[in-house]
Every structure is written in structure tokens, then in C-alpha cells.
Structure 1
Amino acid sequence: MSSTVPSSTRRTAPAYVTGRDDLARRGVLGWYPSGAPDTLGAVPEVLICSDAEWLHEEVRSVLSAAGANSRSVYQGPAVLPAVQKELPDLVVLDFQVGNMGGMATCLELRLEETAGRLARVPVLMLLDRRADVFLARRADAQGWVVKPLDPLRLRKAVGELLAGRTFHDASFRPVPVLVEGRGGTAESADTN
């Protein structure tokens, strides 16, 4: 069973997103970085899951500024039925959702995909702390952004995932520090 939406039923982006062809080709406008010009005219459908209204508003603001459509759910168990019904291009999950966290929700989506009952959908996790990166990786999220949210970083993450790539927020990483007397740098053991 295919769960892709025929391109004839997809909405197209408003003129302000696709009207400046040169900038769009270079990845300056629209969602997709350079490399996906054939999909630039499609309006991404994004499902947002968080139990915090302020987080929905921040993510919606970034998405709507580029002409994307979004739908919100406020509980982890509501994500799977919404994905099955609406077939979004991307799911944005808050890692800390009260009744069923982002990790459990992402794992549920991956289990349904593995069983063949759901087409693969990219997942972007919004993490609270750097230690959550390990769990986001284990849940097979294609990307993550560590809070507080930076609109430009969030937009880049969404664009990368919609273009079929991954996005691993490196802004949380400690800066390499020069250790005096040793002639080298001390770096974090974290690798991305």
C-alpha cells in the first residue's frame, strides 16, 4: 500500500516562495537547499507535536514564513493516526511530551514503517539538552535541534530533512579549548 500523495493533489507554493527563480535555485528562497529544484514548488505539510503551545507557535511561525502548511497535535499518541491520515512530509516532535515522549512516538512511527503499515516520514526532534542527542539517535530521528530554538537553524533543519538529508544540530557542542603547556586542544568525545 503506497501512502504517497500524487503530485497533482499537492498544493503549490505561493508566488513569493517560488517567484524568484535564481534565488530559489541557489537555495536562498523556499525550503529546499540547492539540489532539489524539482520539488521547490510543492508546499510542505508538517505535523507538529508538543504539549507546549508556545513551542507550536514558534515552529508554526518559522514554517508559515516560508509558505509551509502545518497541523498541530498535543499528545504523542495522536501522532500515528495523524500521520496515517494526513501523510505529512515531516514530523516535528518535542522530545518532552507529557503522556508519550518524542522518543516513544518516533519509535512507534519506525515500528509501523518496519511492519510496512506506514511510509517512511522524516522526524525532526526538538531536544531540551545535549544528553538527549543519544536518545534521538537511538529513536532513528533524521534530525534534531537543541532548544532554545533559533529560527534560522530550525528552518535549515526542516529544509535539510525535506530534501531527504539529515540535520544534526552542532550548536550544543562545546568549543575546543587550547590546553596550555600541551600544544594541542582538548575536545569533547561527542561525535556527530
Structure 2
Amino acid sequence: MSLEVLAVDDSRTMRDMIRFALEPAGFTVHTAEDGVHGTEVLDAIDPDVIITDINMPRMDGFGFIDAVRDRGQYKATPILVLTTEAAPEMKMRARNAGATGWIVKPFDPVKLVKALQMVAG
């Protein structure tokens, strides 16, 4: 089963790490460098799950989650926040915006794959 993932992160290294973690597990990974780019990529694909950072230029993760949830077809698409932030109020804000889960960087590739399989399966 091939799941399509959209990974939004302003760090090229992090986007590469996500790709290297997920592709061997059978995921198709699409990437974007910030929330604005992420909404553009969404126009061309239909991801099974979305991963987003919080701190990004142009449009941060909260704005991106709002933009995704504003599109009817993505109301139920799982969104995992992958960030260096660990503050409870940030997690609560993300959950209130519509995030499904929260993973703190640096991430364990095996746990990331399992988390995606759980929310997208």
C-alpha cells in the first residue's frame, strides 16, 4: 500500500530526512518549503497524510493547518506536526487548529513511519 505524504518544512535537510525515512517504507513523498508553497503543492496532489513544521517563513505551520482545513476535501486528512517546539501551549494551539498529532525533532524514522501508518491506515 503506497501512501502519499506532503511534508512541509523550510529546512532542506529535514525534508531530505523525511524522504529518506519514508520512501523505503513505501510512501510517496512530496515536499514544500513553507506553508504558501505547501498550499500550492496541495493543488496538484491528494495526500493521505500531511507533515508540517511550525516555524517557517511566509506562512507558519498554524497558518498552513488552517489553510488545509479550510479546503473541504482535507477536513479529515491527518496532519502531523514535526517541530523542535515542545511547549504544551503550542501543542494545544496546533490541536485546536486541526493537527492530528505532534512529533518533536529530531525524530526517530521508525516511529515516524509507524505514526504515519497509524493515522493514515
Scaled by the length of structure 2, the TM-score of the pair is 0.88
Aligned position for 2:106: 148
Matched residues in 2 for 1:109 and 1:46: separation? 14
The code of the aligned residue for 2:36 comes to P
Identity percentage of aligned residues: 28
Structure 2: unaligned runs, 5 residues or longer: none
Q: Which runs of 4+ in 1 moved over 6 A?
A: none
Question: Computing the radius of gyration over CA atoms, which structure comes out larger, 1 or 2?
Answer: 1
Task: Determine if the alignment matches structure 1 residue 128 to structure 2 residue 84.
Answer: yes
Task: Spell out the pairing of 1:47-126 with structure 2 (5 A cutoff).
Answer: 47-113=6-72, 118-120=73-75, 121-126=77-82
Scaled by the length of structure 1, the TM-score of the pair is 0.58
Higher relative contact order (CA 8 A, sep 6+): 2
Higher helix share: 2
Matched residues in 1 for 2:24 and 2:85: separation? 27
SS of equivalent residue, structure 1 residue 130: coil
Aligned position for 2:120: 162
The code of the aligned residue for 1:52 comes to S
SS of equivalent residue, structure 1 residue 133: helix
Structure 1: unaligned runs, 5 residues or longer: 1-41, 164-192
| RMSD between superposed Cα atoms in Å | 1.4
Aligned position for 1:5: none
